[in-house]
């Protein structure tokens, strides 16, 4: 075609190119938005072969209708996967970080604290942990069962939340036997996502929000926020409550607890009124870039899977690093090794500051005890104990949240930074006080470099505690299971 001819081309041609381009851009736009929305589409037409009763707690019954989801759910029993900082192996955190025992002196976490594992283990693990005690030592309230079982919504429906929480942990043992499962997240009639835990609904109400108005994409994370959140047991009724009234940040929650004058326990060494952060996974996640961009928990933890041409949601919830191809590379083009390196790099920075906090706060508790022993007054100690309380809450907020900070690395580092600052400020005040009291400074520290030594230092009689637990598992638990079998409470063997 000569130049001359081009110039003389029919104007219709330009219109054609113009409109064609618009159509292509439009289609590309649709394609891009479908990539983003793809994560939240309905994957196949659901067919309910057998109707499921209201409050059906047994996962195997739901599994008859949805074998793919059920089979992948059962894979949460696999405990082989281990990454640098997470995974499904039962790592003993007290052995790994013995300072934690000093941090939790006087509180049951100093007896036993293991890394979490798959949902199907929830009942087994809460029965086994030394924190729930044995036949004679420190039984917990029934509230402790709330995040462990599909039997909980069933019981709350019959007796009401208030009455459920009020009971003792023992009283409901025989009723609660099915681990976290289908009913916790799904409506039995149409499989829509649903919220079954009153605490989350009430927390929304207190913030002036109606959780039933949440979008489908929000629901995909809110089903997890039923349990993966910070919480406390309110006053005598042990009423499960999320401290969100002032907001989601660690500063907001600290203010909330201070105003309410709440403490989980009094520290055995420093006598500080302490807060135990639980696992604010949802809250920390909402401060990160993925939440900002509309990514939800299942996008990484429950990616789609295809089997025999059918696409479904993989219910093997665990570390996304088990499967970066399906969980991260749907959105990120980087190679698998680069993706894993990104995660590890962020986690290592968080761990570095986290360890500094643990070392500082442990010493602060011990120095505070020495100050009391040498005649410090309430008035002298008060500002110091407040700093220790805040420092430890901030450390725990990041430490107890899963993912070693990956869900929101910047916020995790900010929180740990303020924890170190408060811990060191407490130690500065303690140094002046100790010198004024005539104590040699720096003080001599005891040896708490292993789990065994640290537990001895804080005065735990681990032999008695373990004996009591073994007795409990051999008597009470056997009895619970017998009664449950009689009423066909569970068919699942694990």
CB of 419 to ligand HEC, least distance (A): 21
55 or 441: whose CB is closer to ligand HEC?
55
Can residue 227 be called a binding residue for ligand HEC (CB under 6 A)? yes
7 or 42: whose CB is closer to ligand HEC?
42
Can residue 230 be called a binding residue for ligand HEC (CB under 6 A)? no
- Among residue numbers 117 through 146, which ones bind ligand HEC (CB under 6 A)? 117-119, 121-122, 125
Among 133, 243, 320, 405, binds ligand HEC (CB under 6 A): 320
Residues 198, 161: contact at Cβ < 8 Å? yes
19 or 491: whose CB is closer to ligand HEC?
491
What sign has the CA pseudo-torsion 324, 328, 332, 337? negative
Residues 256, 373: contact at Cβ < 8 Å? no
Can residue 298 be called a binding residue for ligand HEC (CB under 6 A)? yes
Can residue 66 be called a binding residue for ligand HEC (CB under 6 A)? yes
Selection from 397, 432, 457 nearest residue 269 by Cα: 457
- Region from 68-76, 243-251, 265-273, 367-375 binding ligand HEC, contact rule CB under 6 A: 68-76
342 or 481: whose CB is closer to ligand HEC?
342
Can residue 248 be called a binding residue for ligand HEC (CB under 6 A)? no
- Specify the residue for token string 């409901």: 172
Whole-number Å distance between alpha carbons of 330 and 325: 7
Can residue 223 be called a binding residue for ligand HEC (CB under 6 A)? yes
Instruction: Work out the number of other CB atoms within 10 angstroms of the CB of residue 474.
Output: 10
CB of 385 to ligand HEC, least distance (A): 31
Please return the burial class of 158, using the count of CB atoms within 10 Å of its CB with bins 0-12, 13-18 and 19+.
exposed
- Specify the residue for token string 């996967």: 81
Whole-number Å distance between alpha carbons of 156 and 164: 6
Give yes or no for a cis peptide into 442 (omega within 30° of 0). yes
Among 180, 350, 353, 399, binds ligand HEC (CB under 6 A): 180
88 or 391: whose CB is closer to ligand HEC?
88
* x-marked contacts with ligand HEC along 86-115 as a string, rule CB under 6 A: xxx---------------------------
CB of 411 to ligand HEC, least distance (A): 11
- Region from 92-100, 282-290, 352-360, 414-422 binding ligand HEC, contact rule CB under 6 A: 282-290
270 or 323: whose CB is closer to ligand HEC?
323
Can residue 57 be called a binding residue for ligand HEC (CB under 6 A)? no
CB of 461 to ligand HEC, least distance (A): 26
**Euclidean distance between the first and the last CA atom of the chain, given in angstroms as a whole number:** 77
164 or 457: whose CB is closer to ligand HEC?
164
CB of 206 to ligand HEC, least distance (A): 20
58 or 451: whose CB is closer to ligand HEC?
58
Among 77, 193, 211, 437, binds ligand HEC (CB under 6 A): 193
Q: And the tokens for 492?
A: 């699942």
- Specify the residue for token string 């940040």: 249
CB of 35 to ligand HEC, least distance (A): 8
- Among residue numbers 413 through 452, which ones bind ligand HEC (CB under 6 A)? none
Can residue 164 be called a binding residue for ligand HEC (CB under 6 A)? no
The pairs formed by 238-241 with CB atoms below 8 angstroms and a separation of 24 or more are 238/141, 238/142, 238/143, 238/165, 238/166, 239/143, 239/161, 239/162, 239/165, 240/143, 240/146, 240/161, 240/165, 240/197, 240/198, 240/199, 241/199, 241/202, 241/203
Residue 479: C-alpha distances to residues 152, 174, 390, 487, 494 (Å): 20, 8, 43, 13, 17
Can residue 191 be called a binding residue for ligand HEC (CB under 6 A)? yes
Selection from 203, 146, 188 nearest residue 54 by Cα: 188
CB of 91 to ligand HEC, least distance (A): 9
CB of 185 to ligand HEC, least distance (A): 3
- Among residue numbers 358 through 417, which ones bind ligand HEC (CB under 6 A)? 402-403, 406-407, 409
* Rounded-to-10 torsion of CA 74, 77, 81, 82: 140
């Amino acid at each position: 075609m000569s130049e001359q001819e081009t110039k003389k081309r029919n104007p219709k041609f330009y219109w054609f190119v113009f409109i064609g381009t618009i159509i292509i851009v439009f289609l590309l736009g649709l394609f891009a938005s479908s990539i983003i929305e793809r994560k939240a589409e309905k994957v196949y037409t659901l067919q309910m072969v057998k109707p499921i009763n209201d409050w059906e707690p047994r996962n195997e019954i739901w599994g008859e209708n949805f074998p793919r989801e059920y089979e992948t759910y059962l894979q949460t029993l696999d405990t082989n996967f281990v990454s640098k900082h997470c995974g499904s192996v039962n790592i003993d955190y007290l052995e790994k970080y013995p300072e934690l025992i000093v941090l939790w002196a006087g509180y049951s976490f100093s007896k036993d604290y293991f890394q979490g594992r798959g949902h199907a283990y929830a009942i087994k693990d809460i029965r086994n942990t030394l924190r729930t005690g044995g036949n004679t030592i420190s039984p917990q309230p029934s509230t402790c069962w709330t995040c462990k079982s599909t039997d909980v919504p069933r019981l709350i429906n019959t007796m009401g939340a208030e009455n459920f929480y009020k009971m003792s942990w023992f009283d409901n043992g025989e009723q609660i036997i099915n681990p976290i499962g289908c009913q916790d997240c799904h409506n039995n009639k149409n499989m829509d996502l649903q919220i079954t835990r009153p605490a989350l609904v009430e927390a929304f109400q207190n913030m002036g929000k109606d959780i039933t108005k949440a979008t489908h994409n929000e629901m995909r994370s809110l089903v997890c926020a039923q349990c993966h959140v910070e919480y406390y047991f309110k006053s005598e009724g042990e009423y499960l409550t999320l401290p969100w009234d002032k907001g989601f940040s660690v500063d907001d929650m600290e203010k909330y607890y201070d105003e309410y004058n709440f403490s989980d326990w009094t520290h055995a060494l420093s006598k500080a009124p302490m807060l135990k952060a639980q696992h604010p996974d949802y809250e920390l996640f909402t401060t990160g870039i993925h939440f900002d961009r509309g990514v939800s928990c299942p996008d990484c933890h429950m990616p789609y899977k295809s089997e025999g041409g059918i696409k479904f949601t993989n219910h093997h919830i665990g570390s996304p690093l088990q499967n970066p191809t399906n969980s991260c590379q749907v959105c990120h083009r980087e190679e698998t090794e680069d993706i894993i390196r990104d995660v590890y790099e962020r986690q290592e920075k968080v761990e570095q500051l986290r360890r500094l906090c643990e070392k500082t706060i442990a010493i602060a508790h011990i120095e505070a005890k020495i100050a009391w022993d040498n005649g410090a007054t309430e008035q002298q100690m008060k500002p110091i104990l407040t700093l220790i309380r805040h420092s430890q809450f901030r450390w725990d907020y990041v430490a107890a949240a899963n993912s070693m900070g990956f869900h929101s690395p910047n916020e995790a580092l900010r929180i740990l930074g303020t924890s170190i600052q408060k811990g060191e400020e407490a130690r500065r005040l303690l140094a002046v006080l100790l010198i004024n009291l005539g104590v040699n400074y720096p003080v001599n520290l005891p040896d708490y470099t292993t789990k065994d030594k640290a537990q001895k230092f804080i005065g735990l009689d681990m032999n008695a505690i373990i004996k009591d637990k073994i007795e409990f598992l051999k008597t009470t638990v056997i009895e619970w299971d017998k009664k449950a079998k009689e009423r066909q409470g569970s068919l699942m063997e694990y």
